Amino acid sequence: MGTRQRSHLECRRCGTTIETDSSTCPACGSGNIAQYEL
Protein backbone atom coordinates (compact mmCIF):
# COMPACT_ATOMS: atom_id res chain seq x y z
CA MET A 1 0.00 0.00 0.00
CA GLY A 2 1.30 3.38 -0.98
CA THR A 3 1.29 6.64 0.90
CA ARG A 4 0.22 8.65 -2.12
CA GLN A 5 -1.98 11.57 -1.06
CA ARG A 6 -5.18 12.22 -2.92
CA SER A 7 -7.44 15.21 -2.79
CA HIS A 8 -11.01 16.01 -3.69
CA LEU A 9 -11.95 19.40 -5.14
CA GLU A 10 -15.52 20.60 -4.70
CA CYS A 11 -17.39 23.85 -5.29
CA ARG A 12 -18.58 25.32 -2.00
CA ARG A 13 -21.48 27.08 -3.70
CA CYS A 14 -23.12 24.27 -5.71
CA GLY A 15 -21.28 21.10 -4.59
CA THR A 16 -19.97 20.14 -8.03
CA THR A 17 -16.92 17.86 -7.99
CA ILE A 18 -14.05 19.45 -9.92
CA GLU A 19 -11.70 17.09 -11.74
CA THR A 20 -8.79 19.48 -12.42
CA ASP A 21 -6.94 22.12 -10.41
CA SER A 22 -9.30 24.79 -11.66
CA SER A 23 -9.78 28.08 -9.81
CA THR A 24 -13.44 28.34 -10.82
CA CYS A 25 -16.37 25.96 -10.91
CA PRO A 26 -17.42 24.93 -14.44
CA ALA A 27 -21.06 24.60 -13.33
CA CYS A 28 -21.73 27.89 -11.54
CA GLY A 29 -18.57 30.00 -12.07
CA SER A 30 -17.83 30.37 -8.35
CA GLY A 31 -14.22 30.80 -7.30
CA ASN A 32 -14.89 29.31 -3.86
CA ILE A 33 -13.32 25.86 -4.24
CA ALA A 34 -12.78 23.50 -1.30
CA GLN A 35 -9.92 20.99 -1.35
CA TYR A 36 -10.16 17.94 0.89
CA GLU A 37 -7.10 15.74 1.45
CA LEU A 38 -8.03 12.04 1.41
- Please give the order of strands across the beta sheet that includes 7-11: 17-18, 7-11, 33-37
Whether the pLDDT of residue 1 is over 60: the answer is no
The pLDDT score that the predictor gives to residue 30 is 98
Residue 19: strand pairing partners: none
Higher-pLDDT residue of 6 and 1 is 6
Per DSSP, what are the bridge partners of residue 10?
17, 34
pLDDT tens digits along 2-36: 566 789 999 999 999 998 878 999 999 999 999 99
13 Cβ partners below 8 Å, 6+ apart? Answer: 25, 28, 30, 32
